[in-house]
Amino acid sequence: FRAYSHSEIARDAATIKNSVVMHLTATFLRTPASIDSTHAYLASAFSVRDRLLQRWNLTNEFHDRIGAKRVYYMSLEFLVGRTFDNALLALQLRDEYAGVLGDVGFRLEDVIDEERDAALGNGGLGRLAACYVDSLACMNYPGWGYGLRYRYGMFQQQIINGYQVEAPDCWLDTPNPWEFPRPDVTYPVKFYGRLEHVPGSAHRYRWVSDVVYDAMAFDMPVPGYGTTNVGNIRLWSCKTNGLFDLNKFNAGDYAGATGGQVAAQILTDVLYPNDNTNEGKELRLRQEYLFCSATLQDIVARFKRTGRPLSELPDMAAIQLNDTHPTLGIPELMRILLDDEGLEWDEAWDITTRTFAFTNHTVLPEAMEKWPVPMMDRILPRHMGIIYDINLFFLQRVEKQFPDDRGLLRDISIIEESSPQQVRMAFLACVGSHRVNGVAAIHSDIIKQSIFKDFVRVMGEDKFVNKTNGVAPRRWMNECNPAMSELITEVVGDRSWINDLSKVRALEARVDDEAFRRRWWAAKQANKRRLADYILATTGIRVSPDALFDVQAKRIHEYKRQLMNILSVIYRYHRLKEMAPAERARELPRVVVFAGKAAAGYWVAKQVIKLINAVAEVVNADDEIGDVLKVVFVPDYSVTAAEHIVPASDISQHISTAGTEASGTSNMKFVLNGGIILGTVDGANIEIGEEVGEEQIFFFGCLAHEVADFRHYLRFHQPKPDPALQTAFDMIQRGTFGDAHIFQPLIDSILRGGDVYLLSVDFPSYIEAHKAVEEAYRHRDDWVTKSILSVARMAKFSSDRAIQEYAEEIWNIEPVPVVE
Ligand code: 26V
């Protein structure tokens, strides 16, 4: 028996056709007469999967054989989206499969649309994790993602009567070609129970419990573009470790006999769709622990197969914590090293802190994870004990360094002295890691001055670093924007830019080439027509591709200020209504596109969606207005929807209150597709502006360092809306968009609620910025220049750059191209 080698993977049309037909008939029991689009997709996906599997095996055998150090990216979220097209492009088999599918009567585009998104994430944080494993694979870094296999991913959003209505995302109801069940990779995970001290030891305990669940692995391959390397996301699914309760079964209690199954299964049933608010739910804590325990057991087991002593774990494994959600990995590794392996505290702690590093993704206080000590003590008694000891040793050290500073000890303690006491997970992650990073330059500065201020004093500045986010050019350029990608390939001379974005600089040399500029514009127009079709299909609204496409697509949240956007649309509508028809006809036609989900329990955000839809309904039906202004709310925003929306923007809005958006990543995607940003001086907008040049970005609004004073003032004084904002309020209150009282709370959040996100402060400069955008768009020549120069200068925002920085400065791992 010999494993397939890369060179044996047949790529010719006949072999591919054979494998597709084999899956059609043998895997899916179809006859030539009963092939439909669904089965054309499934059969070709399974055929691609066979090819990926061979490479997957080669990759992992190779990394084992050479004893490569691996990085493990631990994340409760992986917002992967679709895989089929991505895999076809990576394997460079797209044309071959298009041909084979054409032979049996299907268009590749239609077949691609049969796939459902893997939506195992909320938004930016989850999509970042997916881009990072893509970059690891493409750059030949040995590394895996670890996550949870939720049975229901991010809910589906329906818009009914203008309101968001949530429906479950049953993505596993159809066969999923992109996962490989690994029943042999299963670990027991304990909950509750009691502790027995091991006599003669200082820190060794036996944890006795009869609540034990099993975590079983499912592997999702991550195709590397143009390389043999295939990465992996290992996702855990929970079940009981007993078959069922035989006593109950024999007594005729069939439901009771399987009750344990049901209790276990709910642990990985559903993704928490509540990004940026911590609810402190017990089920979430158990979910996080199941994830951390299975992952750390798997990592330690793989390490032990090398036969090396445990002291060398940090030389073989780097673990990155994607926010605080996987922080229990730290006490879990300590538990394994102390209780299972019998190490002494100091050695275990040294190994642990050298292995872990931690990324912070938000400064919003309501998003900070804290767990009540009594809850943690009940569910995870051993971990609570370990956290107490970690805290004790840490505070002893602080005390020595800063004697008699009781305030400091209270402020820096991992245990918050509230009632009940709470475990501050960000502090635990910080103490247990050798590096802490923010996700954009401004954000990394802010966390050093706010949440981790005391830690900078105690642990030194060098522990706190910046790693500006990035996005994968494979999905966010090559896959979603073939028209623009063809132009780039022509300028660069080949497709090497897809794995080396610095080559896109070559576009600058063509910025004055008239023929090229026309084709650049035509590519954007084609993408706008495609989005217009998508909008028609999903909303029934007809929009003109000749209008300026103005897009805000992201989670609905007060700090992101979709409310400010729709208020400016209302003001624009008012102005248009005041104009004489001839004057109106000279206005720049505009399509304002919104997309995004609100957390199910976030009432204000849901009212914003209702307001957007109410405005859309009135404006779009107004014959006087016609194509001069259209307002669209695209339902059910997702990775796949983004792939339609992002390439079609002329401008996109990233308008968070300064200092609140840690980075943003869609800002990068829009600019990489030739769109221009209208945004605040916040997150990665700032660095994008630095790279593309100030001519290529429209900034407005107050600065992060001004926010505290404005907020303080507005706590005690009612804001005085400027005339434009007042006009928008008046229109709403007059009932122009239906029942005024349902929108009054939104107005009150500004006028009476302290205007925490400073809409009244930024509104005038926002309106001015809109005027500047319009003026610029009317000069089409200058606009095309901005668009081309922007794309040319965006290399920094490839996730490949970000991953290389992590690899070199935090993980200490090296690329190793797979050789047979
Ligand atoms: C918090 C919680 C609290 C517990 C329940 C589930 C849950 C899920 C997510 C979060 C934290 C969200 C933090 C986050 O998504 N940050 C975003 O990270 C992006 C990638 O770094 C960044 O671009 C965005 O600016 C930032 O908001």
Residue pLDDT, tens place only, 68-82: 999 999 999 999 999
pLDDT higher than 90, residue 5: no
pLDDT higher than 90, residue 251: no
Instruction: Answer yes or no: 771 catalytic.
Output: no
Confidence of residue 372 (pLDDT cuts 50, 70, 90): very high
- Gyration radius (Cα) of the chain, Å: 27
Among the listed residues 665, 770, 793, 796, the single catalytic one is: 665
Q: Tell me which of 544 and 10 has the higher pLDDT.
A: 544
- Closest ligand 1 atom to residue 127 Cα is 20
What does the alpha-carbon distance between residue 498 and residue 494 come to, in Å, rounded to a whole number? 9
What does the alpha-carbon distance between residue 416 and residue 76 come to, in Å, rounded to a whole number? 24
pLDDT higher than 90, residue 263: no
Looking at residue 607, its pLDDT comes to: 98
Confidence of residue 244 (pLDDT cuts 50, 70, 90): low
What does the alpha-carbon distance between residue 540 and residue 528 come to, in Å, rounded to a whole number? 16
Arithmetic mean of pLDDT, 795-806: 98
Share of the chain above pLDDT 90, in %: 93
Looking at residue 537, its pLDDT comes to: 98
Arithmetic mean of pLDDT, 322-328: 98
Mean pLDDT of the chain: 96
For ligand 1, say whether the CB of 85 is within 6 Å of any of its atoms.
no
Instruction: Answer yes or no: 467 catalytic.
Output: no
Instruction: Report the sign of the C-alpha dihedral through residues 336, 340, 341, 344, in that order.
Output: positive
Among the listed residues 203, 463, 474, 560, the single catalytic one is: 560
Question: In angstroms, what is the span from residue 476 Cα to ligand 1's centroid?
Answer: 20
For ligand 1, say whether the CB of 661 is within 6 Å of any of its atoms.
yes
Confidence of residue 679 (pLDDT cuts 50, 70, 90): very high
pLDDT higher than 80, residue 564: yes
Q: Evaluate whether 497 touches 487 at the Cβ level (below 8 Å).
A: no
Question: Which three-class secondary structure state does DSSP give residue 17?
Answer: helix
Confidence of residue 265 (pLDDT cuts 50, 70, 90): confident
Arithmetic mean of pLDDT, 452-476: 98
pLDDT higher than 60, residue 3: no
For ligand 1, say whether the CB of 517 is within 6 Å of any of its atoms.
no
Q: Could you identify the residue written with the tokens 């040793």? A: 393
Q: Write the residue with the smallest CA distance to atom 8 of ligand 1.
A: 275
50-54, 109-113, 248-252: range with highest mean pLDDT: 109-113
List pLDDT tens digits, range 24-34.
999 999 987 88
List pLDDT tens digits, range 598-620.
999 999 999 999 999 999 999 99
**Which one of 120, 155, 276 would you pick to mutate in the ligand 1 pocket, going by the greatest count of ligand atoms within 8 A of its CB?**
276
Q: Which residues contact 375 (CB under 8 A, 6 or more apart)?
A: 282, 285
Looking at residue 776, its pLDDT comes to: 98
Confidence of residue 12 (pLDDT cuts 50, 70, 90): confident
Q: Which of 106-110, 272-276, 461-465, 652-656 has the least mean pLDDT?
A: 272-276
Looking at residue 41, its pLDDT comes to: 98
Closest CA to 271 of 188, 192, 422, 166: 166
Instruction: Answer yes or no: 669 catalytic.
Output: yes
List pLDDT tens digits, range 146-179.
999 999 999 999 999 999 999 999 999 999 999 9
**Which one of 154, 275, 554, 663 would you pick to mutate in the ligand 1 pocket, going by the greatest count of ligand atoms within 8 A of its CB?**
275
Question: In angstroms, what is the span from residue 360 Cα to ligand 1's centroid?
Answer: 9
Q: What own/partner pairs with CB < 8 Å and gap ≥ 24 does 755-758 have?
A: 755/714, 755/719, 756/558, 756/711, 756/714, 757/558, 757/559, 757/561, 757/657, 757/660, 758/657, 758/702, 758/707, 758/710, 758/711, 758/714
Confidence of residue 280 (pLDDT cuts 50, 70, 90): confident
Among the listed residues 554, 654, 786, 793, the single catalytic one is: 554
- Closest ligand 1 atom to residue 359 Cα is 21
What does the alpha-carbon distance between residue 207 and residue 211 come to, in Å, rounded to a whole number? 11
Spell out a b/e string for 456-490, using b for 16 or more CB atoms within 10 Å of the CB, else e: bebbeeebbbbbbbbbbbbbbbbbbbbbbbebbbe
List pLDDT tens digits, range 747-781.
999 999 999 999 999 999 999 999 999 999 999 99
Token reading at 65: 């054989």
Looking at residue 32, its pLDDT comes to: 77
Q: Evaluate whether 354 touches 314 at the Cβ level (below 8 Å).
A: yes
For ligand 1, say whether the CB of 122 is within 6 Å of any of its atoms.
yes
> Domains (ranges, CATH) in the chain?
1-66+85-114 (no CATH), 67-82+117-468+805-811 (3.40.50.2000), 527-773 (3.40.50.2000)
Closest CA to 732 of 592, 571, 620: 571
Instruction: Answer yes or no: 796 catalytic.
Output: no
List pLDDT tens digits, range 212-236.
999 999 999 999 999 999 999 999 9
Instruction: Answer yes or no: 560 catalytic.
Output: yes
List pLDDT tens digits, range 180-199.
999 999 999 999 999 999 99
Arithmetic mean of pLDDT, 516-533: 98
**Which one of 361, 439, 602, 669 would you pick to mutate in the ligand 1 pocket, going by the greatest count of ligand atoms within 8 A of its CB?**
361
Q: Write the residue with the smallest CA distance to atom 16 of ligand 1.
A: 361
Looking at residue 9, its pLDDT comes to: 62
DSSP β-ladder status, 422-424 and 436-438: unpaired
Question: In angstroms, what is the span from residue 569 Cα to ligand 1's centroid?
Answer: 28
pLDDT higher than 80, residue 259: no
Token reading at 321: 């914590």
> What backbone phi and psi angles, to 5 degrees, belong to 569?
-65, -40
DSSP β-ladder status, 548-553 and 415-416: unpaired
pLDDT higher than 80, residue 49: yes
Arithmetic mean of pLDDT, 726-750: 98
Q: Write the residue with the smallest CA distance to atom 5 of ligand 1.
A: 278
What does the alpha-carbon distance between residue 729 and residue 746 come to, in Å, rounded to a whole number? 10
What does the alpha-carbon distance between residue 793 and residue 790 come to, in Å, rounded to a whole number? 5
